[in-house]
Structure 1
Amino acid sequence: METTPRIAIIGAGPGGLICARILQRLGITATVYDLDTPRAARDQGGTLDMHPDSGQRALGEAGLLEAFLAQARPEGQQMRMVSRDGRILFDALPPEADPTEGNPEIDRGRLRDLLLDSLTPGTVRWGHKLTRAEPLGDGIHRLHFAGGTTADADLVIGADGAWSTVRRLVSDATPRYTGVTFVETGLDDADTRHPRLAELTGQGTMMALDDNRGFIAQRNGNGHIRIYVGMRTDLDWHQQAGLDLTETAAVRAALSREFADWSPDLLGFITDADSGYTNRPLYALPVPHTWTHTPGVTLLGDAAHLMSPFSGMGANLAMLDGADLARALIGARTTDEAVRTYEATLLPRSIRAAEGAAEGIDSAFAPDSAVTALAHMTQHH
């Protein structure tokens, strides 16, 4: 760099943190701003499979691959397809070779802790919710945070997720409802308390999809199984049904009616759950999502290419974005040159992934989803 830029990363997710870590290793300082207070304020979600050519590659550039492999769960790669009557149709076990050749799993919370603990203390400024970014000219932006504090930056990196505030600087696009909603719940100490459901899940991910509905059960660490009850439905389905989502018994009864003609074994993922039910409508940015280069700002991760989880690439792409942007910044004379280089790679890659994710969710929640899901699994394993 010809000068030392002031780099602000908005959002302490995997993409933003990996970018800050790689920059920091090579002597470039970046400040990460996140709305959480403290860092463990929110559940970070389920498990992630780290791919060798994206997530693992980014961890390697960050000097964290060995630490990741020490915490990863190779057995979590198991993929199982179950019919609506409870029969196992397909079961792909993880490879027994070097785990770096596969896609070992790690809980989102563990991955975030690994990344946070690798940064110099004080890198992340907690309790900083960005309300707007004010252009000052020459690519400089003044960041305004809730509570009245401000900070100026030569480069603002929007790693602030689906409802990104930074995105407004470069794009008018907003996420759209995909037509599919997940209702999340879970099983605690599953092998002991729910052995039948734990056996049906296996050690990785179990999917049962048919006729615009389905179950996805996903092994996490510490004996927990995270469950997603999926439906192609209206965004306000619960209001149409007169449901209060905080009334656990009423939601359980409504979901049980929705899946009344499914196997009693699968219905156990609704009726035997230990937690309440969280409504999670799935959103995605329009495809393709692109923007005109804007000096002093760029995007990564969901801020750039929010897509359905059926891409299997969300966190991997975010981390690859972060690594590519850091590498571009390290190798360029100016931040503008770096961002142009990065976006030339990011945008076409994002479009391809988003197209695949859109096709994936449409085939997973369709009248013949059981047939197409089984064909897809068989082809790719």
Structure 2
Amino acid sequence: MANPNPTPTHHFLSSRHILISGAGMAGLSFTLALHKLWPPHLPPPRVTLLDRDNRQNALGREGYSLSLAGHDDTGGLYALKDLGLLDSALDKAILGAQGDMGGCFRVWDERFREVMSVRPKPAEGLPSAGIRIARRDLRGLLVDGVRDAGGEARWGVAAVKAETNGDGRVVVIVEGEGVRDGEERIECDLLVVADGGGSKIRRGLRPDDVLVYAGAVQMGGIASFPEGIPPPLDENWGMQLSGGQGVCCFYSPVDKKGVVWALSFLEPEARSKLGGNPSQEAADRVLEEARERGKILGPLFQRMVDATTEPASVFCLPARDKAPFRHDLDGAAIVFIGDSNHAVSPFAGYGASLALKDGWDLARKIVQAGSLRDAVLEYDAISEPRAVKVRGTSRWRIKYGHSTGVTAFIFHTLLAVMGYILWLTGRG
């Protein structure tokens, strides 16, 4: 009797060239996932990963931490489990690695009294429902995984433009310190764009699909405490509300002695971004404004501002995001993942999880499908609604987290009731 499920003897990307623009969470996840999922009996594609930073800068300049969710299969921890990196990530986690015994997300009032704590149950097969991890540590794990898998990475090379040639292949123009003559043309059969919210490739192909201002500004930095982080921030991360005064502040440890804080408030027009390595004068202006705007938040907040002494850590960012889109492959074999497709603001707390899941899901659908068109259709059906939901939640947080008057009172009451319910059900 014939085998009803014969082993495939061909794949549409076997021995083809896949180019990945961007070695952030999405690009690295896709690269590693494709290697792990590719059928061993089939010739693999040639995969080239590009990133504008050199390897040393890419892993050394990211001093903040991020959240990875693990309460369902849309979270970043679930993606890391599939990628084989979960245990390594838990070893490097700042908070949350011990599950119910670790820290959790909390909401405090202006006097730092707890309003709500959130400790959801982990998804099946995961030891924790969420962790905080330094971005540089997570990216380092992914880079090492790609390297160990034999992946080809070109650092200091950025894709700036993409077009099709006569035979349907994609021609990518790249430049950067890793390009000898200033500019180079690379041909590929599939371009996976993962170069972030300000993607140059998207700007060229979809000029009207841009980041939009979400209505709030964040300013903050990294507070340093050589003797140890003061409680309750030594064991938890979360948000402090202002009792209806229109400001709130996010806090999270970045290591055993540092806390990133981000004071936020609504503003009708986006202001200029400050970051990278601001001057002492520019950093002082931000800190002084934050001190004044956050005076309602009490002495612990003021202590955070006082302990922020390195200008390089100080920032002022207008919150921006972008709606996701589904792909039309009639033009070219180009797929956008992560922030290049659906950027979310820091208020989402889910950007890294979306990026990791995008990379895994696109690779999985490509390996399983009979054509690139089918793979991308199935991928979009997963990725687009997931990103829409996260963006909506982020906008909701911006609106109500900075509310005033009666709206703020209703919001605070709702959080208190939710906190009580979570406590009764063992999730708070």
- TM-score, normalisation: structure 2: 0.78
Question: 231, 236, 260: which one pairs with 2:295?
Answer: 260
- CA shift digits 1:232-265 (9 cap, x unpaired): 12423899xxx98843333322222223344223
Structure 1 residue 288, shift from structure 2 partner: 5.9
In structure 2, the residue matched to 1:216 is: 250
* Cα 1:175/1:126, change in 2 over 3 Å: same
- CA shift digits 1:299-337 (9 cap, x unpaired): 111111112233332111111111110011111233333
Q: Which runs of 5+ in 2 are unaligned?
A: 1-10, 39-43, 176-181, 423-427
Structure 1 stretch displaced more, 119-128 or 145-154: 119-128
Alpha-carbon distance in 2 for matches of 1:319, 1:106: 14
Question: 184, 209, 213: which one pairs with 1:177?
Answer: 213
Partner of 1:9: helix, strand, or coil?
strand
* Cα 1:138/1:352, change in 2 over 3 Å: farther
Alpha-carbon distance in 2 for matches of 1:80, 1:374: 15
Residue 111 (str. 1) matches residue 138 (str. 2)? yes
The code of the aligned residue for 1:58 comes to: A
The code of the aligned residue for 1:22 comes to: A
Question: 54, 66, 78: which one pairs with 1:47?
Answer: 66
Alpha-carbon distance in 1 for matches of 2:60, 2:134: 16
The code of the aligned residue for 1:151 comes to: I
Quote the sequence identity (%). Answer: 23
* Aligned residues of 2:240 and 2:248 also touching (Cα < 8 A): yes
Residue 17 (str. 1) matches residue 28 (str. 2)? yes
Residue 7 (str. 1) matches residue 38 (str. 2)? no
The code of the aligned residue for 2:377 comes to: R
* Aligned residues of 1:208 and 1:370 also touching (Cα < 8 A): no
Alpha-carbon distance in 1 for matches of 2:134, 2:69: 11
In structure 1, the residue matched to 2:8 is: none
In structure 2, the residue matched to 1:68 is: 89
The code of the aligned residue for 1:152 comes to: E
* Aligned residues of 1:363 and 1:373 also touching (Cα < 8 A): no
Structure 1 residue 31, shift from structure 2 partner: 1.4
In structure 1, the residue matched to 2:364 is: 327
* Aligned residues of 1:36 and 1:42 also touching (Cα < 8 A): no
- CA shift digits 1:207-233 (9 cap, x unpaired): 112332111110122422111121212
In structure 2, the residue matched to 1:34 is: 51
Alpha-carbon distance in 2 for matches of 1:330, 1:42: 34
Residue 81 (str. 1) matches residue 76 (str. 2)? no
Question: 272, 277, 295: which one pairs with 2:307?
Answer: 272
Structure 1 stretch displaced more, 127-136 or 199-208: 199-208
* Aligned residues of 2:198 and 2:340 also touching (Cα < 8 A): yes
The code of the aligned residue for 1:354 comes to: R
Alpha-carbon distance in 1 for matches of 2:409, 2:280: 28
* Aligned residues of 1:364 and 1:373 also touching (Cα < 8 A): no
- CA shift digits 1:4-61 (9 cap, x unpaired): 3211111111111111001122244421111112333532532322325131222222
Structure 1 residue 112, shift from structure 2 partner: 0.6
Question: 185, 198, 205: which one pairs with 1:150?
Answer: 185
* Aligned residues of 1:79 and 1:91 also touching (Cα < 8 A): yes
* Cα 1:237/1:8, change in 2 over 3 Å: closer
The code of the aligned residue for 1:319 comes to: L
Alpha-carbon distance in 2 for matches of 1:373, 1:298: 42
The code of the aligned residue for 1:63 comes to: G
Question: 263, 283, 287: which one pairs with 1:248?
Answer: 283
Q: Over the residues paired in the alignment, what is the CA RMSD in angstroms? A: 2.9
* Cα 1:270/1:362, change in 2 over 3 Å: same
* Aligned residues of 1:78 and 1:202 also touching (Cα < 8 A): no
Structure 1 residue 268, shift from structure 2 partner: 1.9
Which structure is larger by alpha-carbon Rg, 1 or 2? 2
* Aligned residues of 1:78 and 1:204 also touching (Cα < 8 A): yes
Alpha-carbon distance in 1 for matches of 2:346, 2:317: 12
- CA shift digits 1:343-370 (9 cap, x unpaired): 2322232222222222222222222457
Alpha-carbon distance in 1 for matches of 2:122, 2:163: 52
Alpha-carbon distance in 1 for matches of 2:68, 2:241: 21
Structure 1 residue 89, shift from structure 2 partner: 3.0
In structure 1, the residue matched to 2:41 is: none
- CA shift digits 1:260-319 (9 cap, x unpaired): 34422322222332323211211011x464453443011111111112233332111111
* Aligned residues of 2:250 and 2:261 also touching (Cα < 8 A): yes
Alpha-carbon distance in 2 for matches of 1:338, 1:171: 25
Alpha-carbon distance in 2 for matches of 1:59, 1:86: 34
Residue 372 (str. 1) matches residue 389 (str. 2)? no
Structure 1 residue 77, shift from structure 2 partner: 4.2
Question: 134, 137, 159: which one pairs with 1:130?
Answer: 159
* Aligned residues of 2:212 and 2:320 also touching (Cα < 8 A): yes
Structure 1 stretch displaced more, 75-84 or 96-105: 96-105
* Cα 1:138/1:305, change in 2 over 3 Å: farther
- TM-score, normalisation: structure 1: 0.87
Alpha-carbon distance in 1 for matches of 2:20, 2:260: 30
In structure 2, the residue matched to 1:90 is: 116
Partner of 1:56: helix, strand, or coil?
helix
* Cα 1:350/1:261, change in 2 over 3 Å: closer
- CA shift digits 1:91-144 (9 cap, x unpaired): 456879986242133221111111110113562211012221122245422111
Structure 1 stretch displaced more, 3-12 or 25-34: 25-34
* Cα 1:313/1:261, change in 2 over 3 Å: closer
* Cα 1:236/1:142, change in 2 over 3 Å: same
* Cα 1:136/1:179, change in 2 over 3 Å: same
In structure 2, the residue matched to 1:358 is: 395
